[in-house]
Chain A
Amino acid sequence: MRIEGARDRWAAALFGGASLMIMALPLLMLVEVVGAGLPRLSSEFLYAPPMDAGRAGGIGPMIVSTLAILAVCLFAALPVGLGCALYLAECVTAGGRAARALGYSLDVLGGVPSIVFGLFGYRLFAIELGLGFSILSGGLTLACMVLPLLIRVSEEALRATPPSYRQAAAALGLSQGGFLRRVLVPAAAPGIAAALILSIGRALAESAALLFTAGYVTRLPDSVFDSGRALAVHIYDLSMNVAGGEASAAATAVVLVGLLVLINICARRLGQTVHRMQRA
């Protein structure tokens, strides 16, 4: 449909103008944050510890804590999530009661507010399991949070593998374990990797769930049992509790958003690879 006629031209102008104005806001946000943060950025910023309550120095310990929390999260979530995805894709009928109940539970879980995860993580990991404010508590809480996403995307990847693989495996008399281990999972690997990357993105952006689980401490954590402050939490603290901390907060935000954009690009590339493989 070409844009002909006065009414269509008016509509195009209105929609275009409105969209430009609307999209200007988030773009303004990005520009202002990057502008406020770039002056503070330097390689030293990335590895030095914070000084003067964060107004000076860097975010080294925060980066380490964030990576540690991420590692714990993935170590916990990947096996359980992949196992659940395999179970859904291989062991239950698609519309059956078990599948629907599990699907419902996971879908709702995906919508639970992050602060509620924080309460849950605090109650279960910090108190009940006695882990206290620690990287372990934070990582395990985040693992619970990313499970729905991880499972959903992995399940799609597993289901998308060509059914001919299954037929060939059955004709060869392979055991189910052998088929899963050597054929299905490797074939779905790019999709599972995409799921992993999306989960990393989600976990990196999280802060509310970490407030009462991983803690607030700014020093370098000794171990996973030690408390640590994630990048997102650091931004929160600098903005709210530290007068004059805007520049550092902005710089931290730039690092965090930069990481997330990188992850977004990786996930897309993987997604394209998956599509190309499927079409081949």
Chain B
Amino acid sequence: MAGPPMPRLSMQGDRVLIGALGACALLSGGVLVLILGFLLLETGPLLASGHVAGALFGAEWHPADHTFGLRAMIAGSLAVSGLALSWAAPAGVVVAVWGRLYAPAVLGRLYRGVIDILAGIPSVVYGFWGLLAIVPAINRVRPPGTSLLAGGLVLGLMILPLCALSTDAGLARVPQSYLRAAAALGLSRFGTLTRILLPQAWPAIVAGCVLQLGRALGETMAVVMVCGNVVEVPDSLFAPVRTLTANIALEMAYASGWHQRALFMSGLVLLMVTMVLFGLTQGLRKRPHED
């Protein structure tokens, strides 16, 4: 009755396999270390030369004169991302609440499908549409059109689907027993939303939005395309700005030596900010297997 014996890897074979798997894990975990390492390698001489403070907070960016003040770019990044989040986060919450609580079932499913697709659309497409439609519209109000406002609108549109998705996930996690009790008591949908659902889902919503802030700060293509890329701290919504990311994208092509090192340094700043924001969201959000 016995069939052909199953091929067996010996104990030795098992050990080799485990070793190989471990190597894969090491490699995967090591990528972040490598990134950090190379960034530090490139930035090292710049940091060692003691011009860090000047570089980070200096107002002047003149690569030719070895002046690498990132202040305008940092301000630009913060302004565009802040503007984007300020409208996309509440909008995401509104859309998610409507989809989950007030929309008819079929429409709600359709809307979630659309949001899913929107979340995967490349940033260049958002940027392209920004150039096609948003910038000319702003240009009619106040030239040149490529501005902080354009960046905030386009970037906000990019992070809107994900804000909605994380709000939706947060709402879905509220225990059903609360909702049944509320229904049995004849409580209004609005009352249940404001007193029970939103307060319970709040940490997940905030964590999601902080994550999106990180994404907005790291966005390159869309902001390069619609922000105007002028190295100046923005003084109005219609002022053109340049973000840290745009700076790297635009100047890497022809940068060398210290100039290139300065760009690597802005990359390092971006990486540090990502790690800090990530740490924040971990604090806000309970991890599922650590409950």
Contacts and interface: CB of A to CB of B under 8 A. Distances in A.
Q: Do chains A and B touch in the complex (CB under 8 A)?
A: yes
Interface in B117-131: 117-118, 120-129, 131
Q: What are the 3 closest A-B residue pairs judged by CB atoms, nearest first?
A: A113-B218, A83-B24, A205-B122
A208 B192 CA distance: 44
A19 B38 contact: no
Given A15-B101, A206-B122, 11 more contacts: A18-B98, A22-B91, A22-B95, A26-B118, A84-B21, A119-B263, A177-B13, A208-B123, A211-B253, A236-B124, A240-B131
A26 B187 contact: no
B29 interface: yes
24 contacts: A1-B183, A1-B188, A1-B189, A4-B188, A5-B188, A7-B190, A8-B190, A15-B102, A33-B129, A36-B132, A83-B24, A106-B28, A107-B278, A116-B267, A124-B34, A147-B31, A175-B10, A175-B13, A178-B6, A212-B252, A239-B131, A249-B128, A250-B132, A263-B120
Given A32-B133, A81-B28, A175-B13, A112 B35 contact: yes
B120 A205 contact: yes
A280 interface: no
Given A111-B274, A240-B225, A260-B120, A29 B129 contact: yes
B192 to A, nearest CB: 7
Contacts of A112: 32, 35, 218, 271, 274
A117 B121 CA distance: 19
Interface residues of B, number: 93
A119 B289 contact: no
A28 B279 CA distance: 36
A211 B123 CA distance: 14
B94 A19 contact: yes
Nearest to B263: A119
A16 B124 contact: no
B125 A256 contact: yes
Secondary structure of the B side of the interface? helix
Nearest to A180: B17
Contacts, number: 272
B245 interface: yes
Contacts of B56: none
Interface in A6-29: 7-8, 11-12, 15-16, 18-19, 22-23, 25-29
Interface stretch (A47-55, A67-75, A90-98): A90-98
A178 to B, nearest CB: 6
Given A84-B24, A115-B270, A240-B225, A19 B124 contact: no
A84 B245 contact: no
A272 interface: no
Nearest to A143: B31
Contact of A102 (B25, B117, B193, B248): B25
Contact of B29 (A33, A106, A263): A106
A115 B94 contact: no
Contact of B245 (A22, A101, A115, A205): A115
A209 B171 CA distance: 34
Contacts of A86: 21, 24
